[in-house]
Amino acid sequence: QVQLVESGGGLVQPGGSLRLSCAASGIAFILYAMSWYRQAPGKQRELVATITSSGSTNCADSVNGRCTISRDNAKNTVYLQMNNLKPEDTAVYYCNTVYRGRDAWGQGTQVTVSS
């Protein structure tokens, strides 16, 4: 059974930075692409960033230039570094992978950007 556990969210001031972590278990982590999504109140869940099993990365246009996704295969962990945070980055951030053709999600971690 796949388990994804996010951590690292919290309250941060505009212009600040945050690093989110997602620890995976129940899968051969090294073989899977991993993604971060976010969902703001009243909005649809949106893709933030993806890292493939080979380490290629992509960030959404809305966070490009402020986003770094990385992975540590030895720790079965994927990270999302967000810089120059803006109030519109406020959302619940979810870790995701596709396992046996189905989406697997973590429980989410709240990020609030406010002064």
Residue 40 has pLDDT above 90, yes or no: yes
Return the pLDDT at 16.
97
Counting beta carbons within 10 angstroms of the beta carbon of residue 21, is it exposed (0 to 12), middle (13 to 18) or buried (19 or more)?
middle
Q: What's the whole-number mean pLDDT along residues 86-92?
A: 97
Alpha-carbon distance of 6 to 58, in angstroms, equals 20
- Coil, helix or strand at residue 83: coil
Q: What is the pLDDT of residues 47-82, one digit of tens each?
A: 999 999 999 999 999 998 999 999 999 999 999 999
| Rounded (5°) CA angle 78-13-8 | 25
Counting beta carbons within 10 angstroms of the beta carbon of residue 30, is it exposed (0 to 12), middle (13 to 18) or buried (19 or more)?
exposed
